[in-house]
Amino acid sequence: MFGTMTKTDTDDSKELDPHNVTLLHENEESAFRILPHNYEAEMALIGAILANNRSYEKVQEFLLPEHFADPAHSRVYETCSRLIDLGQLADPVTLKNYFINDETLAEIGGQAYLAELANSVITIQNAQDLCKEIYDCFLRRELIDIGQELANKAYEHDIDTPAELQIEAAEGRLFNLAEEGAIEGGFKEFRSAVTSAIDLAAAAYRRDTELVGVPSGFRDLDQLLGGLHKSDLVIIAGRPSMGKTALATNIAYNAASSANQTTDDTGNTIEEREVIAFFSLEMSAEQLATRIISEQAHVRSDAIRRGDVSEDEYNRVFAVSQALHTLKLFIDDTPALTVSQIRTRARRLKRQQGLSLIIVDYLQLINPPTASRNENRVQEVSLITRSLKALAKELNVPVVALSQLSRAVEQREEKRPQLSDLRESGSIEQDSDVVLFLYREEYYLDRDSREQREHETEEKFARRLERLERSRNKAEVIVGKQRHGPIGTAHLHFNGDYTQFSDLALDERTPEDRY
């Protein structure tokens, strides 16, 4: 009975899902497709190298052995590159001993095939064109491989690799593939570097200000730094409650509100808004948006969240929110990102919208790469800071990363931070181009006044209150390190109700408020 199959069962078993039929048809069709290749171009290029080893210099930084479709060609090219790198001649005679026992080469003709490769050269002048053709075929094969792997993984229901992670991994591979052949490194003539430096100076001269980089929006700070420069890693460090995130959002808003002036081919000046990427690993996008609205509308953020605002305050909030719609400020509040994920998303934003500045809040919340998670924290942070610096250079934009300070500050009588107070300071101090310390004396004096009231004489307490009054609503941004300029201190006004920093008015300055 169990071994009997009814007619109905038989008919049902022959029915196939239409989706599966389509997939089977596509798989059958793809099975007969030949992967992209150009054996003639590979032969011609190797022939050009064998005829004149200097042809190798034109392609060596761009073309790798794995880019060849034919394994035999790959081995010949790799052997040629080894000989040439050793300063030896690469031709059919010198290659002979390397391939006497090579079965792959023997199958296609052995020594005679090497001679055929040498004779296949048309001209050594087209080596770069042949290189591009070989590399284009390699890219197409890689795209096919990525597509097939992506399809196969999508069919697997692995709880550890949800669809979002698969998309991210695929994007990462595609971006790496796109970047792999973009060889723009190597030596540059000094005159081209001089021209670039003069162009920067001329751009600054034509502006109303002396800024070359992205403006922070604060007069004193921009005067010290000259703006936030391309390819720089800028660290903003401070103890909790100093206002690091507030300063970062202020800089993000000020930079996004500024216009980048460029000149087109006809000589006309074009103004484009700066594009800012803000990676918030601590606060949500909504919280950051509320902060920025509070700063600009001068309405307390807690009142906005509760809806406890007057009609006039509501109108200001509405007006500011409308103005914010015009800014190219992009916030990513995904927690526990790795530098690799930050790089992928920043690349995508730069490709789609352009990119002027990256802000990361904050450094210690970045997840280290999986391979380094068994190392100690100092090594992990070292890898993170090196990667952020590499990201700044790769995308040619300033990267601003916030960082916590160690508790050593609290143990000293003088609470102003210094470079040694940076957590895992060795790597952060070494890899950064600029280190800014945020310090508000009011915070410490106010706390100490409450704690020391009963233990101090009236005279000493009065002096403390006097210092507290002088430091009210003031903040210092201490430039502890600047690779390309002076160190010093920029003085800002701080409004705690709206977590807003602004320029300190001249009449608010005291004799101590100097660089």
Distance, in Å, from the CA atom of 201 to the CA atom of 210, rounded to the nearest integer, reads: 9
More confident residue, 458 or 396: 396
More confident residue, 33 or 267: 33
Q: What is the mean pLDDT of the chain?
A: 78
419 inside domain: yes
Q: Comparing C-alpha atoms, which of 223, 300, 274 is closest to residue 500?
A: 300
Number of separate domains in the chain: 2
14 inside domain: no
Q: Are residues 137 and 260 in the same domain?
A: no
Q: Are residues 374 and 481 in the same domain?
A: yes
Q: Are residues 121 and 217 in the same domain?
A: no
Give the per-residue pLDDT at 58: 78
Encoded amino acid at 406, one letter:
S
299 inside domain: yes
Contact 499, 288 (CB under 8 A): no
Domain stops at, among 120, 155, 180: 180
Q: Are residues 147 and 236 in the same domain?
A: no
**Full domain range(s) for residue 69:** 39-180
Residue 507: band (very low, low, confident or very high) from pLDDT cuts 50, 70, 90:
low
Kindly report, residue by residue over 227-237, the tens digit of the pLDDT: 899 889 999 99
187 inside domain: no
13 inside domain: no
Q: Are residues 219 and 173 in the same domain?
A: no
Encoded amino acid at 469, one letter:
E
Q: Are residues 176 and 217 in the same domain?
A: no
Kindly report, residue by residue over 394-434, the tens digit of the pLDDT: 888 999 999 988 887 777 777 888 888 886 666 788 888 99
Distance of CA 503 to the CA centre of its chain: 30
260 inside domain: yes
Looking up residue 65, the CATH number of its domain turns out to be: 1.10.860.10
Q: Are residues 221 and 304 in the same domain?
A: yes
Q: Are residues 358 and 503 in the same domain?
A: yes
Q: Are residues 342 and 479 in the same domain?
A: yes
pTM score, whole prediction = 0.64
393 inside domain: yes
* Position 272 pLDDT exceeds 70: yes
Side by side, the strands of the sheet bearing 434-439 are 329-332, 276-280, 357-361, 399-404, 233-238, 434-439, 474-482, 488-495, 500-503
Looking up residue 325, the CATH number of its domain turns out to be: 3.40.50.300
Q: Are residues 423 and 500 in the same domain?
A: yes
More confident residue, 174 or 277: 277
Q: Are residues 342 and 284 in the same domain?
A: yes
208 inside domain: no
Give the per-residue pLDDT at 397: 92
Place of tokens 């300055």: 509
Q: Comparing C-alpha atoms, which of 415, 442, 447, 417 is closest to residue 429?
A: 417
Q: Are residues 426 and 498 in the same domain?
A: yes
